[in-house]
Structure 1
C-alpha cells in the first residue's frame, strides 16, 4: 500500500451562517469575488479573463464593464443586501451582472 503526504496551504477558521458554524478556509483566499477580480486586475490586467463565443475580455475590460454596471445600479438605489434577479444564460452579461452585484454587496438571484 502506497501512502501520500498531502501538503495543504495555511488555513483559518471562519464563522459563517446563522447560527454560526466554523468552517476551514484557505488563509490566503480573497474575501469576495470583488476582491478576487481586483487582485487579478492589479496583477495581470491584460490577461484574458473571460471567453464566450466570439467575445474575449481582459481583466481590465471586464473590470471596466463591471464598474459601469455597478455605478448604474448604485444610481438606481441598489445597495448592499438588496436582491437582484438575473434571467440570463451562460454569457458575458451574466458574469458582469454577478460581479457588479458583488461589488455593491447585493445578492444575485438567478432565475
Structure 2
C-alpha cells in the first residue's frame, strides 16, 4: 500500500480505513487503544482498564467491540477475563497510509 498522498485508495482499502478512522474518531476508543498499545506486557486485561475510565463495564465492552470490529485490537478469553492486544498489522498499515512526505504535507 502506498501513502495516501501518493495515489488514490482503492475502493476496498477506503472502506477498511473508513471503518478504522470511524472507530478512532471516538475519544474513549482512542484512549482505550492507547492504553492497550502502551501497556508494558503488550496486552491488558479488561479488568485493569475499567478503573481508568469513568464508564460502566458494558460501555467499555461496547467500545472495545468497535475497536475489534475495525481490526485494531484482538481479544483472548482466559477464564473469566478477556485480554486485549493491538493488531500490529493494522497499526503498520495506518502508519504506511499516513506516511505523507513533507513536501506534500506543506502544500
TM-score by length of 2: 0.28
Bigger RCO of structures 1 and 2 (CA < 8 A, at least 6 apart): 2
Structure with the bigger percentage of strand: 1
